[in-house]
């Protein structure tokens, strides 16, 4: 069995993967219940969209602040142990919120506090989840496992909100106040239960090898510094992280800001839903393609990465000329396919490339960069769209991506990257 094209049946015969898959399905569906219920709860309690933004900030700010710390602690302990602890903590936090909603004893102050605590948990859960697979699956299984698990996340994002809506409606959520929020409380409690079930399956996963704890662990700040130095001193990782950060700067803003404006021009909220569904379906197709053809490459991994990103840039330029919904749907499906395939390929490459004792910190740094650049990119796009117009935003972003790709090809080692 080669690393590039493993026997598809080997993954499903792996006990660790079966437990991860089962727990992942449960947890991802449960997460969608909170993603739907929490904003609705905030609007019921406050009736103020600004409060909703405040709650989202209460989750996002501590997540970003503690992300690097979370990565360091994951490497000092173990991804599995930290992920288990975050699942138990989230079950307690969301279960408490759900119980208080049912008891009609919740207010906005409490929601802010619990939201911040959930954000802290996610700062540890994200790097732990990203660093988990290499310690429990053989290298040959990483690419197909990532393809299936990431594809499953996309399916959950499509089906989960529908299930959550049914549960909330069945619970009698018909009025405008907290007294009619029984469906929201039930949805939150179901998510808490999903965390407990997911933790039970994760507890059955066994590491490939038990590594004894280091006798003298460095202080936390020294561990953080060591992780940053590891990523910076490795010329290949440094080039990749800078390259991906530049690409994220030009991709995330147009998707967050320009896409809703395009939908408004083409038809409204229903059109926006169609465009986003098309992109989501494309991402899912790309992830499934990565599972069917994990070894699909143009020369090598690095060249494939650069060519695919160049295609993304060209598709963004084409978005500037969209005049009908069908054109937008077609381009977004194509964008999703390329993006979905790249997500799996990049994650699998990083999990093989980075030392296991540094993986938590390295993945935390990458997520920190992406999360920090996303609001900056959105703000920049929002500022520019009024000055240069919608089409120029898409075209400019696409041209900028092509420039980054050409620079990455000519001035960095990215084009030489191999699978090992």
In this prediction, residue 265 carries a pLDDT of 83
Q: Are residues 150 and 233 in the same domain?
A: no
Q: Are residues 247 and 387 in the same domain?
A: yes
In this prediction, residue 179 carries a pLDDT of 62
97 located within any domain: yes
First to last CA, the chain: 15
CATH number at residue 374: 1.20.1250.20
Q: Are residues 180 and 260 in the same domain?
A: no
Rounded distance between C-alpha atoms, residue 50 and residue 114, angstroms: 18
Q: Are residues 63 and 123 in the same domain?
A: yes
- Domain total in the chain: 2
The per-residue pLDDT string of the chain (420 residues; one tens digit each, 9 = 90 and over) reads 344 445 657 888 999 999 999 999 999 889 888 888 888 888 788 877 678 778 878 888 888 889 999 999 999 888 999 999 999 999 999 999 999 999 889 899 999 999 999 999 999 999 999 899 999 999 888 888 888 888 888 888 778 777 887 887 777 655 556 666 788 899 999 999 999 999 999 999 998 875 555 556 778 888 889 999 999 999 999 999 999 999 988 888 777 777 777 877 887 656 776 787 788 888 889 988 887 787 788 889 999 999 999 999 999 999 999 888 899 999 999 999 999 999 889 998 998 899 888 999 999 999 888 887 877 777 777 788 778 888 888 899 999 999 999 999 999 999 999 876
1 located within any domain: no
Sign of CA dihedral 175, 178, 183, 188: positive
pTM: 0.79
In this prediction, residue 260 carries a pLDDT of 74
3 located within any domain: no
Structural domain containing residue 385 = 225-416
Q: Are residues 194 and 243 in the same domain?
A: no
In this prediction, residue 69 carries a pLDDT of 92
Q: Are residues 186 and 40 in the same domain?
A: yes
In this prediction, residue 178 carries a pLDDT of 65
In this prediction, residue 98 carries a pLDDT of 93
Q: Are residues 172 and 233 in the same domain?
A: no
Asked if residue 43 lies in contact with residue 168, where contact means CB atoms within 8 angstroms, the answer is no
Which contacts of 41-47 are long-range, i.e. CB under 8 A and separated by 24 or more positions? Answer: 41/101, 41/106, 41/111, 41/181, 41/184, 41/188, 42/108, 42/111, 44/176, 44/177, 44/178, 44/180, 44/181, 44/184, 45/106, 45/107, 45/108, 45/111, 45/178, 46/108
39 located within any domain: yes
The domain boundary, picked from 202, 233, 249, lies at 202
Q: Are residues 139 and 273 in the same domain?
A: no
Torsion region of 324: left, alpha or beta (phi above 0 gives left; psi -120 to 50 gives alpha):
beta
C-alpha triplet 396, 400, 403: angle, nearest 5°: 145
Q: Are residues 130 and 51 in the same domain?
A: yes
The domain boundary, picked from 202, 235, 251, lies at 202
Helix ranges restricted to H, 176-234 = 182-202, 220-233
209 located within any domain: no
């Amino acid at each position: 069995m080669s690393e590039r094209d493993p026997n598809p049946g080997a993954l499903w015969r792996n006990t660790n993967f079966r437990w991860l898959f089962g727990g992942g399905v449960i947890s991802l569906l449960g997460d969608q219940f909170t993603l739907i219920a929490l904003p609705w709860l905030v609007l019921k309690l406050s009736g103020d969209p600004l409060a909703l933004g405040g709650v989202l900030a209460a989750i996002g700010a501590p997540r970003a602040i503690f992300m690097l710390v979370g990565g360091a602690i994951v490497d000092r302990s173990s991804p599995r142990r930290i992920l288990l602890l975050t699942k138990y903590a989230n079950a307690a936090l969301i279960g408490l919120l759900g119980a208080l909603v049912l008891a009609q004893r919740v207010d906005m102050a409490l929601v802010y506090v619990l939201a911040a605590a959930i954000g802290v948990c996610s700062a540890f859960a994200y790097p732990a989840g990203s660093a988990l697979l290499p310690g429990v699956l053989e290298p040959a299984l990483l690419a197909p496992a990532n393809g299936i698990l990431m594809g499953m996340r996309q399916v959950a994002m499509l089906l989960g909100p529908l299930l959550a809506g049914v549960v909330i409606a069945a619970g009698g959520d018909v009025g405008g106040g907290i007294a009619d929020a029984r469906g929201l409380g039930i949805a939150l409690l179901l998510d808490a239960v999903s965390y407990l079930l997911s933790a039970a399956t994760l507890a059955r996963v066994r590491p490939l090898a038990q590594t004894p704890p280091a006798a003298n662990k460095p202080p936390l700040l020294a561990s953080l510094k060591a992780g940053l130095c590891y990523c910076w001193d490795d010329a290949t990782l440094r080039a990749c992280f800078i390259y991906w950060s530049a690409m994220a700067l030009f991709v995330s803003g147009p998707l967050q800001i320009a896409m809703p404006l395009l939908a408004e021009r083409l038809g409204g909220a229903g059109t926006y839903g169609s465009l986003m569904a098309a992109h989501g379906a494309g991402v899912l197709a790309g992830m499934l393609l990565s599972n069917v053809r994990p070894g699909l490459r143009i020369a090598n991994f690095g060249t494939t990465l650069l060519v695919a990103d160049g295609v993304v840039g060209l598709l963004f330029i084409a978005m500037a000329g969209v005049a009908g919904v069908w054109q937008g749907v077609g381009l977004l499906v194509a964008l999703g396919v390329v993006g979905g395939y790249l997500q799996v390929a990049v994650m699998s490459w990083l999990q093989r490339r980075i030392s296991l004792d540094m993986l938590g910190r390295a993945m935390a740094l990458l997520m920190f960069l992406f999360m920090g650049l996303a609001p900056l990119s959105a703000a920049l796009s929002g500022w520019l769209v009024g000055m240069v117009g919608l089409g120029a935003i898409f075209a400019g972003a696409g041209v900028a991506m092509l420039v980054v790709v050409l620079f990455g090809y000519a001035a960095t080692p990215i084009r030489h990257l191999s699978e090992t």
